[in-house]
Each structure stands twice: as structure tokens, then as C-alpha cells.
Chain A
Amino acid sequence: MKPCSLIGRRLATLTVFVGLTLGAWVTWDNWGRFALTPVTASPSTAPHPTPHTLAHGEYLAHIGGCIACHTAKGGEPLAGGRRFDTPFGAVFSSNLTSSKTLGLGEWNANDFQNALHWGRSRDGRLLLPVFPYNHTSVFTSQDVQSLFAWLQTVQPVEHAQPAHRLTWPLGTQPVIAMWRSLFFTPTPFQSNDNQSAEWNRGAYLVQSAGHCAACHGQRNALGSFPEVDDLSGGFLSSQMWIAPSLVDATQTTIANSKLDDTANLLRTGQSPSANASGPMAEFVQHSGQYLTSADALAIATYLKSKLKISAFGAASPATGLASSSPSAQALYKTHCASCHGERGEGKAHAYPALAGNPAVVLTQPENLIQMALYGGYGPSTTQRPRPYGMPPYLFTLNNQQIAEVLNHIRSQWGNQATAVSPMQVDHVRAAIYEK
């Protein structure tokens, strides 16, 4: 026998052995262990939930975004069917109403806890990680039970979940199993005894219901779950919006805002120095505005404690900085100055200042380009029901002009940021908003 064919055979044996071992481990990790140690909900679950429990469950359904994501545009609340475009294909949310055939009508508290803490459906099926079960695994059992009790009171809607449109084999059970073994471990909340009760409440909300890291955390090319407390910034590639880092003090107004103001931004979409736009405005509209002021303050407290202030300031590249030109100045005067002011000072309670605004000088300019192209309104909220808005410039200004005027505002009144190119404007123009 030739020595190289012997090596080849041994290699093949080794590959088969490693493959089988990994397969066995993935199977055990996702299915096997549940057969031995079934998850049981806390026995304290009362068969007849109190009005307080139900109200708390409804509160969680709002602030956790359950209602936002499980309601199709123009559809019945919680009947599912909302489409999510991911880099891997389109996914549709499920029906959470008490429908016995299409919703959660036949579920019990155990099934629901399994879904939230382990990302497994009632029939043992592994759920797609578009459902952020890394974050729902942080929920206390008590919160899970309140949420379930309230969902069971939602009138049944007979609406079937549309089939996902993922490229095979994505979305199949073995692929989800492998993905989960790589990226998912349940992370029940760990309180920090060195911090105040308020800080711990904020940490709990950010990591569970708030699921802030789902956008503000980093994912790899396989769409991994970020750590539940990873707030180092993310990019929503399908929609072309930046979720700025919440730990880098230069990227948001958290560092220079009073806690009240940050809390107000979460609840109303506006603070004296910041406005929520794009996906953040959507969060405020569907979830943030329902936060109690105590919970919003707790989140603000936790977020402020997470800030890291670099001793050297933001790394500013020496080259490629934005600069203005006479034509850019003229564009600014014609299209922007009447609302944002001659010196980028804005108008209180209506139009944000551009001078010294962290959102204007983010190194990645996508959000700024989005605003210039599409304008738009802030969210209508209980406390700020009639927001002002910005006109779109999609049809009025071309890519070159938008880049010019953005480079003007990125280089004036003390602002200093990298230059925006017409090509970058074009990339945002080409992005699909929502189908």
C-alpha cells in the first residue's frame, strides 16, 4: 500500500470521526439535554392572573417590541405576518394571539418559557434567531409568566404565518442547530451588587425587553447574536442605518445630557440636543413611549455608566476631512438655513441643531444621508403628539449636491468629520426601505 493513500484514508476517517462528534454535540446541545432535563416554569404561576400581572404583561409586550414585530402593517395586533428583510432572506413574524390553531391558544406556561429562554417552539422546533431569544433569555421567570398571562387574553385572530423566504438550507433545523451551538447560550440576568437598584433595573431592561444590542451590538458575517450587553455599535445593512455605539462618548449625546433628557429621548423621540430617526424613531413609537419615567431613567442611568471616554478624543484621520465650498454654502442657505439656522443652531423644540450634533459628525455618514434624502417626521408620542418634520431632498438635489451640503455641515461651526462622497449617497439611495 502506498503511504500517501494510507494518509488519505486516515484523514478521511478522522474527518468522519470529527464530523460525527460535532454532529452528536450539536444534536445534544439543541435537543438531547431537553429530553433529560425538561424546563419547567416556576410553580408560582397562578391559574387566574391578577389584574396587576396582566397590566405588567401588557407593559412588557409594548416595551419589549412584541407588539411592534408581531403585527403586520395594517394587520390585527399580534396576529403576526410582519416581514423582516435580513441579509439571508425575508422572514415573517408569528401569530401570538390566543388562536388555538395558528397562535398560542394551546400553549401552556412551560411552552412559553421554553420559547423565551431557549428559543424552542412548543413542538421542540428551533426558532429562527430573528426572534432575539438571547435577550428574552434574560427575562426573569416572573416576567415571562406575566407576559404569557397577558398574551393569553388577546382575542384569537385566525391568521397564518406566511412561509419564510430564506435561501435553502438556511432556516432548516440542522442549520439553525449549528448556528445556535456557535452563537447562543441563555444568559439569565446577573445583578451587580456594587451598583444601585436603579442601575440594575436599567441593565435588566437594556439586556431583556429593550434588546438594545440587537441593533447597537456587533454581529459577524453569519449574523451572530451580539452579547446582550454589547452596545459598541452596529450597522443595519439591509436598511442602511447606523446604530451608533452607546459606549463611545463621541457618538451620542448621552455623555453631555442630563439623565432626564436621555430618558425623554427614549420616551418622546426628542431631547434638547437629539432627535430619534429611522429605526430608533420606530423603537420610540412602538416601545419607548410606553416606558414609565422610572424605567426610562433607569435605562439612562445604566447607559451613562457604560460610557468610555477616550483620553485622546475621537480618532480623527488627518486626511479625507470634509470641507465646504461656495456652492455648498449656497445650497445650505437655500435648503437648510431656514430651519436649522444660519449657524446650524437649530430651533428649540422643533429642528435639531447641526453644530456640535454627534449624529452629524458620525464617521459613517449613512444616517445623515438618510435624513438628507428622505427627511421625515419624528414619532408621534403621547407626550409629543405633533412632531415637526423635514422635507425630503431625494428629488431636489443630486448625489453630488447632497454630498456637498453634508460636507458643509460636517465642517462648519466647530464640526469636523470625514468627507462624504457622492458614491456613498448613491448607496443609501439604492437601499430598500421596507417591502
Chain B
Amino acid sequence: MQKPFRIWLVSLLCLAPLTSFASDMAERIKPCEACHGNQGRAGPDGYYPRLAGKPASYLYNQMQNFSQSRRHYTMMRRMMAPLSPQYQREMADYFANLQVPYLPPAIKSTPPSPAHMARGKQLALQGDRALKISACNACHGDNLMGNTANVPSLLGMPSAYLGAQLSAWSLGERTTVAPDCMGDIAKRLTAEDAAAVTHWLAAQEVPTQNSANPPKRITTDVRCGSAPELHGALQ
């Protein structure tokens, strides 16, 4: 056998175990797709949230929150507990870079009343001063798509999931680094208000993301332990 060919063959054989999967990370995140849908585009059952295109730091923080019992969901806890922070970070980066189209908002068979939706819109865009509830867009961005690395988008999410999260925040089942601003707000929402705002959010079309147009920084008097960048420069 000629030497160059032998070297070529040996290097090919060495690479074989590495190249036998279509893409390394695509293979490694297969377990996630069982619930979060193909390429993390959201679950087929209308509950499990989308991962694709979310800010990497946000996804990473959530993985850490599950591993460290600040968020509680047995399946996620079992999935995340054995993984190192470095590997979780790598997975977060992978999903953050996936650009896959959003599904249109689900149409409810019995549409909520216009008054209910109007209240939801009011809470989302103006808040309620009397109840000390700041508007969603004060922190989650003017287009509600999340305006910093630690603040998630609220659109493109099923109302059942949003409702479950608000309920978890209000009961202290979902917490974050103090001061826990989301927990404080959720505790002030009545069940009716929580339903109104989640129904309204879930009915909105997801705007086309434009990376050339940076999200607006909104001055807020709310201090959040999970998102220190809200009080300083954008990240």
C-alpha cells in the first residue's frame, strides 16, 4: 500500500466515530426534541416551550435553575442534573442559533370575551398602577420578544404554558435569584388577571425578528436579581 493512501485511510478511520452522526450537537440534543419538538421549535402538544432562537443566556439560566432546584419539573431535573454547566452552555448556544419558523398562534374553539382580552392587553402593555403590577413590556421588550439575555420572549408560547409559569411564580415553585421581581408581580395577579394576560399573549402573532434593530432599553424601577442588565448597559 502506498504511504499517502495509508495515511489517508488511517485518518479516515480515526474520524469515522466522529462523523457517523449528521451533526454532533444535533445528535446530542435528541432527547430534548421528544418534548420541545423538532429542532426545539415547541412541543406538538401545545405545552412544552420553544427553545429555538431564544437567548442563549436565558436558556442556560433555566437549565441551571432546574439543576439547582430553583425551578421544579421532574423530567427537566432528571435530564439536567447529570450535565456540567459547560455542556449546558453548549446546548443553550446550539438552540439559540437555530433559526426555525414559528407556528401561527393556536385558535381557541371558544374564543375568550372581548373584555377579557382587553384586560389582558392592558396588563401586558400598560400594567396596573393600583395593583403595583408593571406592564409586561417594561421588562420583556417593547415587542414582548425579550429584550436582554436574561429576559425571555412572551410570544409564540401556548397559553397553558404561560399560565402554568405564572402560577408557579406566584406559589414560589418557580423562583430566581433575589430580588425575585417576577415572583413579586405574579403574587399580585389575581387568577382572572393571570388568565386574561396569558390568553392575550398567546393570541399574538410573533413579529419577524430583525437583528439590525436592537431591542429598546426600557427604564424601570423594578429591580430583578435574575436580570441585572435591566439596571445597566444592555448585554
Chain A: residues with Cβ within 8 Å of the partner, total of 32
Residue of B nearest to A375 (CB): B31
**Cβ of B162 to closest chain A Cβ, rounded Å:** 20
Contact digits for B65-99, partner A, Cβ 8 Å, 1 yes 0 no: 00111100011011101111011001000000000
Given contacts A349-B17, A386-B90, contact A376 B78 (CB under 8 A): yes
Tell me the residues in window 379-412 of chain A with beta carbons closer than 8 Å to chain B beta carbons.
379-380, 385-396
Kindly list chain A residues whose C-beta atoms are within 8 Å of the C-beta of B30. Answer: 339, 388-389, 391
**Cβ of A339 to closest chain B Cβ, rounded Å:** 8
Kindly list chain B residues whose C-beta atoms are within 8 Å of the C-beta of A74. Answer: 67-70
**Cβ of B134 to closest chain A Cβ, rounded Å:** 27
- 20 A-B residue pairs with Cβ-Cβ distance under 8 Å, sorted by A, are A73-B67, A73-B69, A74-B69, A282-B81, A347-B20, A348-B17, A376-B31, A376-B79, A380-B82, A385-B86, A385-B87, A386-B28, A386-B90, A388-B30, A391-B34, A395-B34, A395-B45, A433-B74, A433-B77, A433-B78
Kindly list chain B residues whose C-beta atoms are within 8 Å of the C-beta of A396. Answer: 34
B142 within 8 A of A: no
By size class, the interface of chain B is 20 to 34
Kindly list chain B residues whose C-beta atoms are within 8 Å of the C-beta of A380. Answer: 82-84, 86-87
Residue of A nearest to B27 (CB): A388
Tell me the residues in window 3-44 of chain B with beta carbons closer than 8 Å to chain A beta carbons.
17, 20-21, 27-28, 30-31, 33-35
Kindly list chain B residues whose C-beta atoms are within 8 Å of the C-beta of A433. Answer: 74, 77-78
Kindly list chain A residues whose C-beta atoms are within 8 Å of the C-beta of B77. Answer: 433-434
- Report the separation of the CA atoms of residues A374 and B69 in the bound assembly, to the nearest whole angstrom: 18
Sample of 20 more A-B contacts, CB < 8 Å, known A385-B86, A387-B83: A73-B67, A74-B70, A281-B82, A350-B21, A374-B78, A376-B82, A378-B82, A379-B82, A380-B84, A380-B86, A386-B87, A387-B82, A387-B87, A388-B27, A389-B79, A391-B31, A391-B34, A395-B34, A396-B34, A434-B74
- Closest 5 pairs between A and B when the two form their complex, measured CB to CB: A74-B68, A391-B34, A380-B84, A73-B69, A389-B31
A377 within 8 A of B: yes
- The residues of B with any CB-CB pair to A shorter than 8 Å are 17, 20-21, 27-28, 30-31, 33-35, 45, 67-70, 74-75, 77-79, 81-84, 86-87, 90
Residue of A nearest to B34 (CB): A391
Chain A interface main SS type = loop
**Cβ of A251 to closest chain B Cβ, rounded Å:** 23
A285 within 8 A of B: yes
Among B27, B45, B70, max chain A CB count under 10 A is at: B27
Residue of B nearest to A83 (CB): B69
**Cβ of B92 to closest chain A Cβ, rounded Å:** 14
Tell me the residues in window 176-232 of chain A with beta carbons closer than 8 Å to chain B beta carbons.
none
- Report the separation of the CA atoms of residues A395 and B30 in the bound assembly, to the nearest whole angstrom: 16
Tell me whether B31 and A377 are in contact (CB under 8 A).
yes
- Report the separation of the CA atoms of residues A388 and B79 in the bound assembly, to the nearest whole angstrom: 11
Residue of A nearest to B82 (CB): A379
**Cβ of A350 to closest chain B Cβ, rounded Å:** 8
Kindly list chain B residues whose C-beta atoms are within 8 Å of the C-beta of A393. Answer: 34
- Report the separation of the CA atoms of residues A264 and B183 in the bound assembly, to the nearest whole angstrom: 45
- Report the separation of the CA atoms of residues A395 and B35 in the bound assembly, to the nearest whole angstrom: 9
Tell me whether B17 and A385 are in contact (CB under 8 A).
no
**Cβ of B32 to closest chain A Cβ, rounded Å:** 8
Kindly list chain A residues whose C-beta atoms are within 8 Å of the C-beta of B27. Answer: 350, 388
Residue of A nearest to B47 (CB): A395
- Report the separation of the CA atoms of residues A47 and B68 in the bound assembly, to the nearest whole angstrom: 37
**Cβ of A240 to closest chain B Cβ, rounded Å:** 13
Given contacts A385-B87, A395-B35, contact A377 B79 (CB under 8 A): yes
Tell me whether A389 and B17 are in contact (CB under 8 A).
no
Tell me whether B31 and A390 are in contact (CB under 8 A).
yes
Residue of A nearest to B33 (CB): A391
Kindly list chain B residues whose C-beta atoms are within 8 Å of the C-beta of A387. Answer: 82-83, 87
Tell me whether B28 and A388 are in contact (CB under 8 A).
yes
Kindly list chain B residues whose C-beta atoms are within 8 Å of the C-beta of A339. Answer: 30
Among B27, B69, B81, B82, max chain A CB count under 10 A is at: B82
- Report the separation of the CA atoms of residues A395 and B20 in the bound assembly, to the nearest whole angstrom: 29
Residue of B nearest to A269 (CB): B82
Residue of A nearest to B29 (CB): A389
Tell me whether B82 and A385 are in contact (CB under 8 A).
no
Tell me whether B28 and A389 are in contact (CB under 8 A).
yes
Residue of B nearest to A393 (CB): B34
- Report the separation of the CA atoms of residues A388 and B33 in the bound assembly, to the nearest whole angstrom: 13
| Contact residue among B20, B34, B74, B86 (Cβ-Cβ distance under 8 Å from A375) | B34
- Report the separation of the CA atoms of residues A386 and B75 in the bound assembly, to the nearest whole angstrom: 19
| Contact residue among B21, B35, B82 (Cβ-Cβ distance under 8 Å from A285) | B82
